[in-house]
Structure 1
Amino acid sequence: MSPEVEFGLTLKRAQHVLAQRMDEALRPFDLNLGLWVALRELARQPGASASELARITLHTPQTLSGLLQRLQDRGLVERTTGRGSIVDNHVTPAGRRTLAAATPKAEAVIDQALAAFTPARRAKFQELLAEFADSLTGSA
């Protein structure tokens, strides 16, 4: 296998393991990584539409709509018709409480994963990952 393929597969493995650990940490809150990210970003962008949130969270609009529906069913998100036919989404007080309780658990997973890195190596790692992502999207 070429070094390039090895790199890509290693990156995928790291992403997969991180997502699994995040899901495990978020399970007690009846969330998974996708639901938590949607709730987190909606708290940052009150009133955002599903398509706006989809762009931010890197989901398709259809997937994001499903996540929002699940969050609404749990009482964590309120959805109302706003701008024309666009549905505005807002985090409820229960959603804010859930987010406040779940976020430290998610952050702890990432902190644990990065524990072996010095602050300088963390910064360099993040810089390299951003460069890599930019090269894939043509943003570099």
Structure 2
Amino acid sequence: MAHPQEDTLIAKQITPTAMRLLVLDVLQQHPAALSLADVEQLLGHADRITVHRTLKTFTDKGLVHRIEDGSGAVKFALCEPGCTPEQHQDLHVHFFCTRCRETSCLPTVAVPTIPLPGAFQVQETSLVMKGLCERCAVAS
């Protein structure tokens, strides 16, 4: 009987390996988006290049999406079910907490469509809001 994480990888046409299963587990266990350094730290003794390649494969296959939140480190979060290698469907707001420095996906808050003039063609849209997350706002 296959492991649910193996099924997740196979569904995205990703060959399950020990490292890929470990990285997927880390991403599933943490609701906030994680940087490469975060994943490395949570795994303990993991080869940085292998973790980087795993995250790139996950991104290329539509399993995770990249978030550039202005913190200086690209972060990764699990995709919505409809993402494919050709088209990520993660058109939701990301929220960066200026206190705890965590980045959260807000899948119920859609990125608005912004009409552009002339022949401009949008290929990617990203919206990062910054402030205090729920946890930090309550602690203030």
TM-score w.r.t. the length of structure 1 is 0.44
Determine which structure has more spread, i.e. the larger CA radius of gyration: 1
Structure in which a larger fraction of residues adopt strand: 2
The answer to which structure, 1 or 2, has the higher relative contact order (CA under 8 A, 6+ apart) is 1
Structure in which a larger fraction of residues adopt helix: 1
